[in-house]
Amino acid sequence: MLFYKFQITCELKIESGTTPEAKHAFKFHISDLSAALSEGIESEKVKFLLSRVKNNVFHMLVAVDGFKELTTAKLANLLEKFFNDRDEFAVKNVKVKDLTEITATKFSKIFERANRSNDFNFDYFQITQDLGLDALDNRTFKVREAICPVKRMTLEGAMKAATNLLADETFKEEFTRIYAKENVHHFYGQPVHYKILAGNTDAALELSTLLVAALYTNKRLVSRRITAITNITENCYDESDFEILLENAAGGTVVIELSGERTSTGQFAHAYEEVVEFIANAVRRHQRNTLCIFIESADKPGFANQLTARLQDDLHIIDLHEGAGNRKTALKYLKDLMAISGTTFYSDEELLEAMGDKLTFNASEIYSIRDKLYNSSLKNKTYPAYREVDRLTVKTEEKTNDAYADFNEMIGLTEQKALIEQIIAAHRVEKMRTDMNLEKNNAALHMSFTGNPGSAKTTVARLFAQILARDGVLRTGRFVECGRADLVAKYVGWTAKAVRNKFREARGGVLFIDEAYSLSDGEHATFGDEAINTIVQEMENHRDDVIVIFAGYPDKMKDFLDRNEGLRSRIAFHINFPDYTADELTDIFKLMAKRRGYEISADVAEHCKKIFRRVAKKKNFGNGRFVRTLLEQAWLKQAQRIIKENENGTVTKEALTNFKIEDFDVNIDKNLGKERKLGFAR
Query: What is the C-alpha R_g of the chain?
Result: 33
Q: Are strands 291-297 and 317-321 parallel, antiparallel or unpaired?
A: unpaired
H runs (alpha helix) in 388-483 = 403-409, 414-435, 457-470
- 8 A C-beta contact, residue 651 and residue 614: no
- Quick check: 30 and 62 in contact, CB under 8 A? no
Confidence of residue 226 (pLDDT cuts 50, 70, 90): very high
Provide mean pLDDT across the span 306-311. 89
Of the two residues 249 and 431, the one the predictor is more confident about is 249
- Report the amino acid identity of residue 404: Y
Q: Could you read off the pLDDT of 448-465 as tens digits, one per residue?
A: 998 888 888 888 888 888
Is the predicted pLDDT of residue 51 greater than 80, yes or no? yes
How high is the pLDDT of residue 155?
A: 95
In three state form, how does the secondary structure of 590-604 look? HHHHHHCCCECCHHH
Checking if the pLDDT of 486 tops 90, the result is no
What average pLDDT does range 567-575 have in this prediction? 86
Q: Which of 341-345, 372-376, 447-451, 654-658 has the lowest mean pLDDT?
A: 341-345
Q: How far apart are CA 602 and CA 30, in angstroms?
A: 89
* Region label for 132, one of left (φ > 0), alpha (ψ between -120 and 50) or beta (otherwise): left
What are residue 450's DSSP bridge partners? 552, 576
pLDDT score for 637: 84
The alpha carbon of 638 is separated from its chain's Cα centroid by a whole number of angstroms, namely: 40
How far apart are the C-alpha atoms of 105 and 108, rounded to whole Å?
A: 5
Going by C-alpha positions, the residue among 83, 52, 74, 95 that lies closest to residue 2 is 74
pLDDT at 251: 94
Residue 339 pLDDT = 84
Q: What is the pLDDT of residues 519-559, one digit of tens each?
A: 876 554 567 788 888 898 888 888 888 999 999 888 888 88
- Asked if 207 contacts 174 with a C-beta cutoff of 8 angstroms, the reply is no
Average per-residue pLDDT for the chain:
81
The least confident of 288-302, 333-347, 383-397, 467-481 is 383-397
Q: Which residues of 448-474 are buried (b: 16+ CB within 10 A; e: fewer)?
A: bbbbbebbbbbebbbbbbbbbbebebb
Instruction: Select the more confidently predicted residue: 21 or 257.
Output: 257
H helices, E strands: number in the chain: 26, 17
Count of C-beta atoms within a 10 Å radius of residue 68: 14
Antiparallel, parallel or unpaired: β 142-147 and 225-230: antiparallel
pLDDT tier for residue 90 given thresholds of 50, 70 and 90: low
Q: Which residues share a beta bridge with 197?
A: 296, 321
Tell me the per-residue pLDDT of 588-621, one tens digit each, with 9 for 90 and over: 888 888 888 888 888 888 888 888 888 877 776 7
Buried b (16+ CB within 10 A) or exposed e, 240-275: ebbbbbbbbbbbbbbbbbbbbbeebeeeeebbbbeb
Inter-residue contact 197 to 320 (CB < 8 Å): yes
Helix 624-645 and helix 582-595: axis angle, to 10°? 50
Flag whether pLDDT at 85 surpasses 70: no
Residue type, 321: H
Backbone dihedral angles phi then psi of residue 226, each to the nearest 5 degrees: -120, 120
Residue 219 pLDDT > 90:
yes
The fraction of the chain above a pLDDT of 70, given in percent, is 83
Q: Side chain identity at 302, as an amino acid letter?
A: G
SS (H, E, C) 101-139: ECCHHHHHHHHHHHHCCCCCCCCHHHHHHHCCHHHHCCC
What does the alpha-carbon distance between residue 510 and residue 676 come to, in Å, rounded to a whole number?
Answer: 35
Is residue 673 predicted with pLDDT exceeding 60?
Answer: no
Extended beta strands in 556-607, E state: 573-577
Q: Is pLDDT of 395 > 80?
A: no
Residue 168: how many CA atoms within 13 Å on its side-chain side? 14
- 24 neighbors 106 (Cβ within 8 angstroms): no
Distance CA 93, CA 429 (A): 81
Most confident of 53-57, 61-65, 221-225, 394-398: 221-225
pLDDT at 23: 53
State the CB neighbour count (10 A cutoff) for residue 493: 9
Closest CA to 103 of 135, 147, 141, 65: 147
Q: 363, 260, 339, 337: which is closest to 305 by C-alpha?
A: 260
What strands lie across the sheet with 447-451, from one edge to the other? 479-482, 509-514, 546-552, 447-451, 573-577
Task: Tell me the residue length of the chain.
Answer: 682
